[in-house]
Chain A
Amino acid sequence: MKLPTDIGKDCARAWEAMPWSLQHSASHEQDEWLTQHLSRCEACRAEFEQQSHLRLAISLPPDIPVDADAGLRRLLARIDAPDTHATTQRPRTSWVTRALVAAVLVQAVGIGVLGARLWSENQPEYRTLSQATAPLPSGAIHVVPDDTMKLADWNGLLHSLHLQVISGPNEVGAYTVVASGASASSKDALQKLRTTHGIRLAEPIASAP
């Protein structure tokens, strides 16, 4: 028996042609050529015989019992109930979609909360020269009471002049006071403060230029 490498192109061509000749899709010329080749090539003849055997075996009816009528009945029942099929599919899709939407929303809320916290933590605890200072109310007065002045006298003085401390004392002992009532005049209060015993300094705060 000749080896395939020795057989040459004809055997390769015969090998290619066999399935199509067996399934009767080869042209008449191809069939004739193959018949002639098989008559003089023992190896290809044996191969073709085995291929014929293979085709015969593979064309046998299926050996697994599947009832066509029962299958068709089930298919028609499935077609008759398309809504059932649709409703069984819909919640699954809907549930998945809802879960995804919920997950995205939770993530968005989480990112928002974290972002807000991060932003608030990042607020600087210093002020740049270009930033405006918190404006003092108009008519504010710096007052420096004497060290010997009693707290009751100080409170009484503020009360009588309708003044209210809004900050202080600072590093030199000055309080910032403003008139607490709409009727009270800061100019009158300033004059009275300057004449009051126990007040070392009373100066209006100049507004920013």
Chain B
Amino acid sequence: MNEADIDADATDRMLLQRMSAGDRAALAVLYRSYHGRLCRFLSRLTRRPDVIEEVINDCFWIAWQKAGTFHGDSRVSTWIIGIAYRCGLKALRQHGDEPVEEDMQEDRFPAHCPDEDRELRDWLAKGLSRLSADQRVVVELVYGLGHTLDDVAVIMQCPVGTVKARLFHARVKLRNTLPALAGEPPIRKESMP
């Protein structure tokens, strides 16, 4: 954890402490600071905006109620993402699992989205569509949110070995599919050591 992460975690802890005393302004700050991250994280589980918003609100509803019980065993971000992950799985059970769409919709991109980003998103979406939901979540947590293997194990409530295996298989699949999607030959078809 670098200095920026330590500072961010200290701020989050302070906000949680204020939330435990009923400070709604602290809740609003924490909500806004995590909204983008949670949106992207949950978009690896579902493409429905209404479900994503419902899960984020369920997550912060729990965080609001349990802020006083946070003992600091992990980073606040690990705690919140873990709650969001469990709420996301619950929502998927209620609404039905929806895989990442194969075809990119034009209206999915923000109006300011440059062509380069669009191409990158398309490349990524096609690659992720080859992964299982658990593998997509691990890839997002490690590459997108910058969590360690230990953090991911806490978030997904599984052994570190399981996280390692999911990440390994996700990387092997991606390395074999992503170059081809970009019009290049795969680096190699074999599994890595």
Contact = CB atoms under 8 A, between A and B. Distances in A.
B143 to A, nearest CB: 5
Given A68-B31, A71-B56, A59 B144 contact: yes
Interface in A112-152: none
Contacts of B167: 19
B187 A47 contact: yes
Contacts of A7: 193
B121 A54 contact: no
Nearest to B44: A58
Contacts of A5: 190, 193
Interface residues of B, number: 50
Interface SS majority for chain B? helix
Given A50-B187, A62-B36, A63-B121, A78 B2 contact: no
Interface of B: 1-2, 24, 27-28, 31-32, 35-36, 39-40, 43, 47, 49, 52-53, 56-57, 60-61, 64, 108-110, 113, 117, 120-121, 123-124, 127, 139-140, 142-144, 146, 148, 167, 171, 174-175, 178-179, 187-188, 190-193
17 contacts: A3-B190, A12-B192, A12-B193, A22-B143, A23-B143, A50-B174, A50-B178, A51-B143, A53-B120, A62-B40, A65-B49, A66-B52, A67-B53, A68-B31, A71-B31, A71-B56, A78-B61
Given A63-B113, A75-B61, A76-B28, 13 more contacts: A4-B191, A4-B193, A22-B143, A23-B142, A23-B146, A55-B144, A58-B143, A62-B36, A63-B121, A64-B47, A65-B110, A78-B57, A79-B61
